[in-house]
Amino acid sequence: MRERMVAGDLYIADDPELAEEADRAHDLVAAYNATTSRQRPLRRRLLEQLLGSIGEEVELRPPLHVDYGTRVTVGPRTFANFGLMALDVAPITIGADVMIGPNVQLLTPTHPVDPDLRRAKWEAALPIVIGDNVWLGGGVVVCPGVTIGADTVVGAGAVVTRDLPARVVAVGNPARVVRSID
């Protein structure tokens, strides 16, 4: 099932192998979320165990929430404020020098429109890519399959449903480009 999931194909969400992988991640997240800012070395060790990769000088303020963790990569000098939710059924790539406001959601899972398939617990996922030096304001939601180009700013509360180019400001629901960054 794991191979189907990572490939973006439909898979059964409550597969025992996936449940074990998720349980491991949830244990690490619980330990991470129980730390204080005075425990930076412990936080770093927990993130190194949890995430696919993590650059230098990364700060992800608890609480943090992931599905599996292993499909999240975070570039150097990235900062995420409280409440990052990274549902990494598919890969989530966060570039270098990214600023993430509080309560941002990076959501890779998708679900079939067909009610019978949903009832049978089928789902799929599409990857998310956040370019270098992006700023995601508080409460931003990034939907499955979205790529956000380098140096882009996404305003607080925006819902990003499709790709955004580099060096723009985008706001709203759905997010729309309101200007370029010169």
Q: What is the mean pLDDT of residues 56-67?
A: 98
Rounded to the nearest 10 degrees, the angle between the axes of helix 16-33 and helix 40-50 is 170
Query: Minimal CA–CA distance to 146: which of 105, 178, 181?
Result: 105
Neighbours of 172 (CB within 10 A): 14
pLDDT value at 11 more than 90: no
> For the chain, what is the largest distance between any 2 Cα atoms, rounded to a whole number of angstroms?
50
CATH dotted code for 2-180: 2.160.10.10
pLDDT value at 70 more than 90: yes
* Backbone torsion region of residue 164, taken as left when φ is above 0, otherwise alpha when ψ lies between -120 and 50, otherwise beta: beta
d(CA 139, CA 137): 6
pLDDT at residue 52, rounded to an integer = 98
- pLDDT tens for each residue of 74-105: 999 999 999 999 999 999 999 999 999 999 99
pLDDT at residue 1, rounded to an integer = 65
Cα–Cα distances in angstroms (integers) from residue 13 to residues 3, 51, 112, 113, in the given order = 13, 20, 12, 16
d(CA 47, CA 39): 12
For residue 174, is the peptide bond before it cis, meaning its omega torsion is within 30 degrees of 0? yes
Selected catalytic residue, list 44, 61, 65, 111: 111
What contacts 68, CB < 8 A, 6 or more positions away?
18, 21, 22, 25, 88, 89
- pLDDT tens for each residue of 124-172: 999 999 999 999 999 999 999 999 999 999 999 999 999 999 999 999 9
Which amino acid does the sequence have at 15?
Answer: D
Question: Average pLDDT, whole number, for the chain?
Answer: 95
pTM over 0.75: yes
CB-facing half-sphere around the CA of 85: CA atoms within 13 A: 12
Q: What is the mean pLDDT of residues 14-28?
A: 93
Tell me the pLDDT band of 15, cut-offs 50, 70 and 90.
Answer: confident
d(CA 50, CA 29): 8
For the chain, give the percent of residues with pLDDT over 90: 89
Asked if 69 contacts 51 with a C-beta cutoff of 8 angstroms, the reply is yes
Tell me the pLDDT band of 7, cut-offs 50, 70 and 90.
Answer: confident
Tell me the pLDDT band of 14, cut-offs 50, 70 and 90.
Answer: confident
Instruction: Determine whether 111 is an active site residue.
Output: yes
Tell me the pLDDT band of 54, cut-offs 50, 70 and 90.
Answer: very high
